[in-house]
Amino acid sequence: MKKEENIIGYVNSIETFGAVDGPGLRLVIFLQGCLLRCKYCHNPETLEFKKDNIITVDEVISLYEKNKSFYKNGGVTLSGGEATTQINFCIELFKKLKELNIHTCLDTCFGTYNDVDKVKSKWKELLKYTDLVLADLKHIDNEKHINLTSRPNTNILEAIKFVDACNTKMWIRHVLVPGWTDEKEDLINMARFVKKLNNVERFEMLPYHNMMIPKYENLKMKFYLKDVVPPKKEYVIECRKIIENELRK
């Protein structure tokens, strides 16, 4: 059996001063691999489970220690891809970070979660060491979710409820894609789902952007939303008010 410090993660990239992936300045590790195929994915280079670049738990700790003074109000975030495709690495890293009293944040779309006991036990173990979950809720409607991501959302909604039941704090994040994720009825239904949760600290509406298109061109991948125009600030505010009004009821 490998020692804890030698457990390996397959990493795509590392951001040493992340400011949008949880509270404060953070060390953000983007792990490789994802089960969803979102039409607007802004990190398409992370989708395939490649093993080109490795990192150990101790190496992540060393990276954190190098800039420790900058992270005093932040911590470490695991993102991707989908970080939980490498859930054993996530568990061991977060366990070590909590021993060092470092804030841990998991950015996830829950694509690996299902109702199998073995899977749920792994998630429960991970959440023991997770201070905050950035919950990516792509669509509340199952058929539309399948069209957008190639996968149903039934396990994702169950995962969010599972995280809530484990009393782990969450920020719900929703990408507003005109013509795809902005119908009023869907936004209302999403707000009603979120309203039933007990541990959501914040709801974030993230406007769709198309800055990832050059990545698709370089990777020779088809980008399905080329004709979608990013929403104007006023429209994002309007859609966010729909959510907020429902949450206040």
**Is residue 5 predicted with pLDDT exceeding 90?**
no
Q: 18-43 pLDDT, tens per residue?
A: 999 999 999 999 999 999 999 999 99
Which homologous superfamily does the CATH classification assign to the domain defined by 8-248?
Aldolase class I (3.20.20.70)
Global pTM reads 0.95
Q: What's the pLDDT at 166?
A: 98
Residue ranges per domain, the chain? 8-248
Half-sphere exposure of 178 toward its Cβ, with a 13 Å CA cutoff? 14
Q: What's the pLDDT at 91?
A: 98
Q: 166-222 pLDDT, tens per residue?
A: 999 999 999 999 999 999 999 999 999 999 999 999 999 999 999 999 999 999 999
